[in-house]
Every structure is written in C-alpha cells, then in structure tokens.
Amino acid sequence: MSSTLSFWSLDPATGALTCCPRAAAILGTDGANLRMLHDVLERLIPADRLRLLRAGVESLKMRSMFDIVVLMRTPDGIRLLRVIGGTGFEPGQRHPHLHGVVERIAPEDPFGTAGRYL
C-alpha cells in the first residue's frame, strides 16, 4: 500500500466529508476547516467530477465499491488521485454513508500500478 493512502467518510444526506489529517492534506484542505463534498468537487475537472458523483451514487444504490482516478486542482497544481469507496453504516445512523481511501498517485505512475493495466 502507498504511504500516501488515507481515509475519508461522507454523509450523503448532509454532504459532510470527514477526513484523516493525511486525506485533508492530499485533498489540499486545511485540517481546521469543515470539509464539504461540494468544496472538493469544485476542484475536480468537470468530467471527473461527474464520473465521481456517478460512481458514488451507484455505490449507494447497489451497495457496491468504486475505484476511480480523478484530476484535482490544488494551490500546488494538478494532482492525480485514486479514490476508492463504498457504502457502510455509521453507528446510530439510519442512512448509509460512503467510506473509503484516497491516494495521491505520482505523475510517473498514472495508474498507481506501474503500468500493470497498460
């Protein structure tokens, strides 16, 4: 596993995104600020924003996993990220949440696999 792998959780009812400190850094956000899904989505390129939203909605509907690579604009430039997630339930909550990991992919390895899928 990558040393840049980090964890996130999303409440789809409110759009609140909870991240570990490393995920906040990967997403280019200040750990002191509340993160919302729309704040992160605004920085994705439009095509990737739509693909990630569709993957998340499909995961909620089908109770399945998704694994998607997206480009994100940050103050430091463009980042290639791999987002993996799926549905789960938080204790005391009635509706499912999305939980997963985010990984920053090095520019020389755009698939995070050293070309394994090429």
Question: CATH number for the domain including 50?
Answer: 3.30.450.20
Number of domains in the chain: 1
Residue 118 placed within a domain: no
Residue 85 placed within a domain: yes
**What b/e sequence results for 59-78 when a residue is b if at least 16 CB atoms lie within 10 Å of its CB, and e otherwise?**
bbeeeeebeebbebeeeeee
Residue 11 placed within a domain: yes
Residue 71 placed within a domain: yes
Per residue in 48-93, pLDDT (tens digit) is 999 999 999 999 899 899 999 999 998 778 889 999 999 886 666 6
Residue 17 placed within a domain: yes
What is the domain range of residue 37?
Answer: 6-105
Q: What is the DSSP string of 67-118?
A: EEEEEEEETTEEEEEEEEEEEE--TT-SS-EEEEEEEEEPTT-TTSSTTTT-
- Residue 103: closest CA among 78, 59, 52, 69: 69
Residue 1 placed within a domain: no
pTM, two decimals, is 0.79
